[in-house]
Structure 1
Amino acid sequence: MIDYTISLVPSVSRYAFAEIAVDDILKWLVSKDIVKAELSECTLGNLGYAFSDGAQYIVLEPHFLPHQLDINGLEITT
């Protein structure tokens, strides 16, 4: 099995309030149906946001999205 990770990093490296930037990005991802709005156990060791159906529209090869895996979500760290 191969593991992949992708980091989303804002172009501004320091925000006055990181939580605001994270909240805005998460709201955008949910509004585009890229991730689900509710937290779940879809990441290793922490709660995260599972991929949603809209994720297929932002990747080049949607058939490689790991929808069939239990561990397949977005973990947010600041």
Structure 2
Amino acid sequence: MSNDPEVSRTVVTPARVAIAVCLVAPFVAMLWVGSYAKTDPAFIGIPFFYWYQMAWVLISTALTVTAYKLWQRDQRARSTQQGGASK
């Protein structure tokens, strides 16, 4: 039985929760149509419905980059923990 592959367990960490929030927030914002299905307030003549969605393109980009950076940091921390545990 010593030849069994090591089973890695998924650990919920604050970083992973933050990653999930960053990735889910744009979906929730876009699927909750009632929150932005209106024309006022207009921004430089553009109805709220349109500029809200365009703003979320930029916000989603920033959140995705943040999630990616958090994921990289989490993976580096895991690899150093696993490397330190085996020595």
Q: Does the TM-score normalized on the shorter chain lie above 0.5?
A: no
Relative to the length of structure 2, the TM-score reads 0.29
More relative contact order, 1 or 2 (CA 8 Å, 6+ apart): 2
Relative to the length of structure 1, the TM-score reads 0.31
Quick check: which has more Rg, 1 or 2? 2
Higher share in helix? 2
